[in-house]
Amino acid sequence: MSKLNSLWDFIARYKYFVVGAFIILIVGILDENSFLNLCRRSERISQLRAEIENYKAQYQWADNQVRELESCPEAVEKYAREKFFMKRDNEDVFYVPATLSHKQAEEEVADSTLISQ
């Protein structure tokens, strides 16, 4: 019982401090509009703004491509050849995959030398 009395005496003596600490705890951490949630929301807003800028750049690029395709018949032919591998009647089209990077090529050479030994 004496511990309860000493706790009550502490609260009575420092009641303003205890109430202030309680309010700071509620507002700073536990509340829906707490400081932690504010930081998370600010970070999410900055991510969304960056995403919006990315989509604007993609839209601008696509819009320029559409304008080029609408204005120039050679661009339509070039686009069809590059993207859809279309060809003229008397042509053959060969697909060449992208080359390996220097590091990947070295790894393949090292693997082949290990196999041959």
pLDDT in tens, 68-81: 989 988 888 888 87
Mean pLDDT value of segment 5-25:
87
Closest CA to 65 of 75, 55, 80: 75
Long-range contact pairs involving 11-16 (C-beta distance under 8 Å, separation at least 24): none
The pLDDT of residue 117 is above 90: no
Q: What is the pTM of this model?
A: 0.52
Token pair of 88 as six digits: 């003229």
- Mean pLDDT value of segment 14-36: 85
Q: Spell out a b/e string for 91-111, using b for 16 or more CB atoms within 10 Å of the CB, else e.
A: eeeeeeeeeeeeeeeeeeeee
Mean pLDDT of 94-115: 62
Distance from CA of residue 87 to its chain's centroid?
38
